[in-house]
Structure 1
Amino acid sequence: MVAGPSEEKRRIRAETLARRDALPVDIRIEKSLAMADHGAAIAFDPGTVVSGFWPIRSEADIRPLMFAMRERGARLCLPVVLDRETIVFRELVRGAEMVDTGFGTAGPGEEAEILDPRLMLVPLSAFDARGNRIGYGAGHYDRAIARLADRGMKPRLVGVAFRCQEVESVPAEPHDVPLDAILTEDGLRSFAGRA
């Protein structure tokens, strides 16, 4: 029996997350700092709303990158899980209290303004050389991107992952939106002229 795309994604996700989890903490920190340096190549206009993320588990820590982007004029926001289906992006301002925002992460509280990102730094489990990605399986980002598209917005999608999370091929499904670029410890790579 041939595995379908969902089963294949589960298998790939488990393998790539195991590789990411196996990176020693000090190496993850070094690689995250390299990503922050390479992230200077991500172009945007001052005032652009940029969604980032607070790291969970063994994810890259992009907080140095986000704060450098703020210094370059970005207006930052973080994803907040409202329910099993929906995430919104709350503005991250200096001095804001961070609260539990679901899915094991932290973000601004309910008093923060909800923003629509024009540039999204997207966490992921795996990616391939064509810009296809596998998330964590809940579909939060897919639905958030679709909601923005329904309102006529097409945010630029920059995946963030360690090089060890790259795979030969991701089984893309019709609802999957490809990345415009990927940021790893090796640099920023654009896909097929999309970034």
Structure 2
Amino acid sequence: MPASQLKAELRAGRLAARDAIPTDERIEKSLAIAGYGENTVGFDPGTVISGFLPIRSEVDLRPLMATFRTRGARICVPVILDKVRIVFRELVPGAELIDCGFGTSAPGPDAAVLDPQVMLVPMAAFDLAGHRIGYGGGYYDRAIARLHEKGLEPRLIGIAFDCQEVASVPAEPHDVRLQSLLTESGFRIVDT
């Protein structure tokens, strides 16, 4: 079976499992993720950290992003510009959010575009080797590649619920491997 087809099947299965988590349980799991994240993700004041605003049944990172902001981080979130490109706009308290397509919202074009030093990366599915499956658009892989072209090496932390783990994700040449994983059961550094 081609890797793309296997990824599509894994994605569909893990997203269905995520969707099946009751709302109140999803909130509790998101708060557990925030608790582990605030106690394990270190950074210096002024560090640019990209998170994301939840869509559908994703992990709600807003509590963790708020904690990071109080510790001095500059927070940004992805904005879809077109069919192949995202940028990260700064998210400041009180910022008006606009619809950015695919169910996402983010600060408008007046917000500063930042290059993340730490990226909290959403995952549809993942394995313990640090391979992830996104939503199939390749936005994060291309965004990370653009940062690498600028000579930047962001720290990559995958974010998902435990039920999204699979035994193995088929890695393709364009896939970017994560350095760590954060779920409701804790923070794990990926063995390299």
Normalising by the residue count of structure 1, what TM-score does the alignment of the two structures yield?
Answer: 0.96
**Mapped partners of 1:36, 1:102: distance in 2:** 26
Partner in structure 2 of residue 85 of structure 1: 84
Aligned equivalent of 1:95 = 94
Shift of 1:142: 0.6
Size of the aligned set, in residue pairs, is: 191
1:8 counterpart (6, 11, 21): 6
Counterpart-to-counterpart distance in 2, 1:123 and 1:143: 14
- Show structure 1 runs of 5+ residues with no match: none
- What is the deviation of 1:103? 2.1
Q: Matched residues in 2 for 1:37 and 1:187: separation?
A: 9
- Determine the C-alpha separation between the residues in 2 that align with 1:4 and 1:115: 36
RMSD of aligned Cα (Å): 0.7
Note the alpha carbon deviations across 1:26-62, whole angstroms, 9 max, x for none: 1000000001100111111110000000000000101
The one-letter code sitting in structure 2 at the alignment partner of 1:18 is: A
Deviation at 1:192, TM superposition (A): 1.4
* Percent of aligned positions that are identical: 62
Deviations 1:140-194 (A, max 9, x none): 001000111111111111010000000000000011111111110011111016x
Aligned residue identity for 1:9: K
Question: 2: distance between equivalents of 1:25 and 1:160?
Answer: 18
Q: What SS does the corresponding residue of 1:168 show, helix, strand or coil? A: coil
Q: Which stretch of the first structure deviates more once superposed, 70-79 or 101-110?
A: 101-110
Matches within 5 A, 1:176-191: 176-191=175-190
> Structure 1 runs of 4+ off > 6 angstroms?
none
User: What is the deviation of 1:102?
Assistant: 2.3
TM-fit CA distance, 1:94: 1.4
TM-score, normalised to structure 2's length?
A: 0.98
